[in-house]
Amino acid sequence: MNDDPGSTARAIEFWFDFGSNYSYLSMMRIEALAAARNVKIVWRPFLLGPVFRQLGFENSPFVLQKEKGAYVWKDMERQCGKYGIALTRPSTFPRAALLAMRVAVLGANEPWIGDWCRKIMQLNFVDDREIGSIDVVRDALDSLGLPAQNLIDAAQSDANKLSLREQTEQAVNKGIFGAPTFFVGGEMFWGNDRLEDALDYCDAIAARQ
């Protein structure tokens, strides 16, 4: 994968929240798809809750709108079947994952970020675990062979907490209204079903250069 931080033509920003069901679909697919096209992933964890509140929603629209919520889980069953991805509907939705998100911010530029994000998504959408729990976060870090307590302490630092808040504010300022959202250069693509379109756009930009 292209690791040149100066390359914008071959990079995709991936904005996600661990509580987002459609982010789960993209999370389980994006690394292989990006690697096949030599596209760098720029990991952008952010909190959907503040974004929804900015839009006047106190909860996920999938919860507030009963008919939409019923449709979404049927759609998730179809999409997971299409991609060969396991799914267990979480007993709590959307599930808070503040500490896990803080760990993601801390590790956004580390080689383990993809493994971490997929692990947390699987714990939420396959194992139905409480990913907001410090014990679940610690176990997940241990399972990846990472220094759990050191990373939890660093994730809980004031500076890292501020980084997540600032990234969430940046999401609002960029006009993000849901997850997953992808940016290629200044072009925004929203939703799991636009992941391939965003990667196609990476190719189009590269072809013009």
Per run of 10 residues, the mean pLDDT along the chain (length 209 residues) is: 47 97 98 97 95 72 69 95 97 94 98 98 98 97 98 98 97 95 96 97 86
CATH (domain of 22): 3.40.30.10
Q: What local confidence, expressed as pLDDT, does residue 3 receive?
A: 40
Q: What local confidence, expressed as pLDDT, does residue 6 receive?
A: 39
Q: Is residue 147 part of a domain?
A: yes
Q: Is residue 55 part of a domain?
A: yes
Residue from 7, 20, 26, 133 carrying the catalytic annotation: 20
Q: Is residue 4 part of a domain?
A: no
Q: What local confidence, expressed as pLDDT, does residue 206 receive?
A: 81
Residue 187, C-beta contacts closer than 8 angstroms, at least 6 positions apart: 198, 201
Q: What local confidence, expressed as pLDDT, does residue 64 receive?
A: 58
Q: Is residue 140 part of a domain?
A: yes
The SS3 assignment for 43 reads: strand
Hey, what are 26's tokens? 């993209």
Which residues constitute the domain of residue 34? 11-208
Total structural domains within the chain:
1
- Angstrom CA distances, 98 to 23, 48, 49, 68, 129, stand at 16, 11, 11, 26, 14
pTM score: 0.91
Are the C-beta atoms of residues 141 and 148 closer than 8 Å to each other?
yes
Q: Measured between alpha carbons, how far is 60 from 12 in angstroms, rounded to an integer?
A: 25
Q: Which of 17, 141, 144, 32 is nearest to 84 (CA)?
A: 32
Q: Is residue 1 part of a domain?
A: no
Q: Is residue 2 part of a domain?
A: no
Does 7 participate in catalysis according to the annotation?
A: no
